[in-house]
Amino acid sequence: MREVAIIGVGMTKFGELWDQGIRDIYAEAALKAMENAGVEKIDSMYVGAMSGGLYAYQEHLSSVMADYIGQKGVPSARVESACASGGTAIRAAFMEVASGMSDIVLAGGVEKMWDVEDGTFVLATASDQEYEAYNGVTFPGLYAMMARAYMDKYNLTREELAAIPIKNHKHAVNNPNAQYPFELDLKGVLGSSMVADPLTLMDCSPITDGAAAVILCPLDLAHKFTKHPVKIKGIGAATGPIALHNHVDMTKLDAVRIAGERAYKMAKLKPLDISFVEVHDCFSIAEIIVLEELGFFKYGKAGKAIANGEATYGGKIVVNPSGGLKAKGHPVGATGVAQVIECYEQLTGKAGKRQVKNANYGMAQNMGGSGGSCVVHILEAV
C-alpha cells in the first residue's frame, strides 16, 4: 500500500448560500483545492453528499460535478453515508491512491440544505425509517434521549452541557468560513428556544449550505506540488446500529470507538499523541460521548472536563478549533471534508488566530446519524 498525502484544500464559506446552486458550491471548493495543489487535471474524483436528490432534486452528482469542473471523462463516484459522507469520500479517495490505481484524486463533499421546506424530514431519512422516522422521532429528539441518559448516569448538569456550544462558538469567532461566528454565554444557551428537552436551539448544529474539497496524491510525489503536504497517517471506519434503541447503552457510540481504535492502530499512535481534534458535535451531547469513545477522557468525565476548560487552548487538548459543527455549520455531506481541512490548516501553521501551538498530529471524527457510521482520520504534517 502506498502512503498518501493531502496536497491542496478548498472550501466555501458555510451558511445560507441562496444565490448559488449545488454545482456552483461544489465547483468553488473543488477548483480552489486544485488551484491550491497546483493541478489542472485529476485522475479520479469522489462527491460526498447525503441527499442531492431530496435537498436539491439533483441525483447523479458524480457526472454533474465532473462535467461542471471541466474534468470530462474522469471516473467519478458519489459516496453516501449520511452525515459521514464527506469522511467516507476521503477514505475512498485514499484507497484509490494507496492501491496505486490513481495518482491525483479529488475528494469533495457538498450539501445544499436551505433550499427545501422540510429539511428535518430529509435528515430523518438517515435514521431508522420503520422504527424512528415513521413514528416522528427526529435527530434532535434522538440526541435529547442520549443527553438525558448521560445526565442521569453521570450527574452531568444542564449548565455543564451548555459549556460545549459556548466553547465552540468562542473558537468560531476566529474562523472566517464559519456560519455563526458569534460568542455565546450560558444565558444564551439556556434561554434559546427549546428544541427537544434538554436540548435548546444553541445545543443543535444548524442547517447549512457548503462544500469542501481536498486533493490527494502518493506521498512520494507530494513534495513536487507543495512544500507542506499533510500525510494521512491513519484511517478507521466502522458502522453501528442505525436505531438508537439497538444501542446496548445510549451513552456510548460503538462505531466511534471501533473507528478510533482502527485509526490509532494504523497510525501507531495513542490519544495522548494527538494535539487537537475536530469532532462531530451535531448536538452538544455528541461531543462529550465522542471524546470518551476516542479515549481522550474517561467515561463520564468529558462533560465536566469541557466545563473546566480542558478542551480549549491551554487545556488538555483543543477540541473543535474550527468552531465545530455547532458554530462553523454542518452542511452534512461536506462536514467530514471540512474537518480534515481544519486539520490540514492547523498542521501547516495556516490557522491564523485559531492556531494550536506545536500541533504534531490532528484527528478528524465524522459520524452518520446517531452512530450508524463513523470515519476517523489521523493526520501529520511531513
Residue 139 interacts with ligand COA (CB under 6 A)? yes
Contact call for residue 290 and ligand COA (CB under 6 A): no
Pairing mode, strands 276-278 and 361-368: parallel
| Cis-peptide, bond into residue 198, ω within 30° of zero | yes
Interface with ligand COA (CB under 6 A), residue from 123, 215, 217, 244: 123
Q: Which stretch binds ligand COA (CB under 6 A): 61-69, 95-103, 195-203, 302-310?
A: 195-203
Q: Can you state the percent helix, strand and coil of the chain, rounding each to 5?
A: 40, 20, 40
Query: Whole-angstrom Cα distance, residue 364 to residue 59?
Result: 28
> What's the DSSP call for residue 245?
G
**32 vs 263: CA distance, rounded Å:** 28
Q: Of the candidates 92, 98, 145, 201, which one interacts with ligand COA according to CB under 6 A?
A: 201
Which residues, 6+ apart, have CB-to-CB distance to 180 below 8 Å? 169, 172, 206, 323, 326, 327, 329
Calpha distance 234→353 (Å, rounded): 27
Regarding 172 and contact with ligand COA (CB under 6 A), the answer is no
In single-letter form, the type of residue at position 363 comes to M
The answer to whether residue 26 forms part of the interface with ligand COA (CB under 6 A) is no
Active site (annotated) includes residue 247 = no
Least distance (Å) between residue 181 CB and ligand COA: 11
Nearer to ligand COA, 87 or 229 (CB): 87
Q: Is 195 in the site for ligand COA (CB under 6 A)?
A: yes
Task: Report the C-alpha gap between 48 and 24 in whole angstroms.
Answer: 15
Please pick, among 83, 204, 282, 374, the residue that the annotation labels catalytic: 83
Catalytic residue among 171, 247, 330, 377: 330
Query: Is 228 annotated as catalytic?
Result: no
Count the residues of the shown chain that bind ligand COA, applying the rule CB under 6 A.
16
Instruction: For residue 14, state whether it binds ligand COA (rule: CB under 6 A).
Output: no
Residues of this chain that interact with ligand COA (CB under 6 A) are 83, 120, 123, 139-140, 180, 195, 201-202, 204-207, 282, 330, 332
- Positions annotated as catalytic residues are 83, 330
